[in-house]
Amino acid sequence: MSIAINNAGPPLGYHSLPRRINAASVNIPLDHLEELYPDIQRFTAMAVKFSYHPDIPSKPRVLLIERNGKDSSWGNTWEPGGGTPDKEDPTIGYSAARESEEETQIWPYGFSKNAITCSFYHEDRKTGERVIMRTLGFIINDNEETIAQRVWSSEIQQPVGQSSVKISEEHLDHCWFTEDEVRSAALYVKGTPPGPFAMLLAKKDMVLLAFELFKQSQGQNVPPSIDTRTWRQYKGNLAK
């Protein structure tokens, strides 16, 4: 499966382009993931959640949250829930589920068969070290729908409507975006204040690929490839 990259010429910053992968093939212990991708210095997990606005139920929307610009890289940019795996996480899929709950209070019932991944160069904001980072994104497949009520207003360039999820203190706002709106998002440029809706190139392209895979799966009634419900018991045991 191919994806149209959103810039002219070579994709600046990419180590490998976004592509589809089998979710089960990377839902493995974290040390095995390092063996699978030996050139990667840092991994991150991503959980992509789709829903529909009640007024337009035929058009899917993706949940994005706005990063706090004070304490994180790519400040004030938008992204799906996700983050760095903890050493106690049994798999990168578990990391995606845990981060989704911590950042949006959404614990997925399961993940779809198709996942997405890419790797890109990242300069650590604290150490200045340049590393290769790989993100593995899982598409949430569950039977409990969160209605997309807070949506983007092109007129005032900010989200409007009722809050539908509870975000963490690490983020400033949340919004459910259409595919066209994601496609029109400005690209984050280091050293330049981002506009009201900006995304990191890799995350923008991964979300667009997730839209494509999500739409292909609609109406197929395919069960989750990864059932995450039992992981909540594992999380509870860790907390004891």
Here the tokens at position 188 are 């984050």
Q: Measured between alpha carbons, how far apart are the two ends of the chain, in Å?
A: 44
| Range list of β-strands (E), 141-202 | 151-153, 158-160, 171-177, 186-187, 198-199
Q: What is the mean pLDDT of residues 29-47?
A: 94
What whole-number distance in Å separates Cα of residue 86 and Cα of residue 107? 17
**Which residue in the block uniquely carries the two structure tokens 């300069």?**
123
What whole-number distance in Å separates Cα of residue 38 and Cα of residue 49? 29
pTM of the predicted structure, to 2 decimals: 0.90
Strand partners, 151: 160, 176
Residue at 237: amino acid letter:
N
Question: Where residue 36 falls among pLDDT bands split at 50, 70, 90?
Answer: very high
For residue range 105-161, what is the model confidence (pLDDT) as tens digits? 999 989 999 999 999 988 876 777 888 999 999 999 876 678 899 999 999 999 999
Residue at 217: amino acid letter:
S
Q: What is the mean pLDDT of residues 74-92?
A: 93
Helix %, strand %, coil % of the chain (to 5)? 25, 35, 45
Question: Residue 175: what pLDDT?
Answer: 97
**Which residue in the block uniquely carries the two structure tokens 């010429």?**
9
**Which residue in the block uniquely carries the two structure tokens 């904001």?**
125
The domain locations on the chain are: 14-239
CATH of 14-239, one of 3.40.30.10, 1.20.59.20, 3.30.465.10, 3.90.79.10: 3.90.79.10
Question: Between 92-104 and 231-239, two packed helices, what is the crossing angle to 10 degrees?
Answer: 70
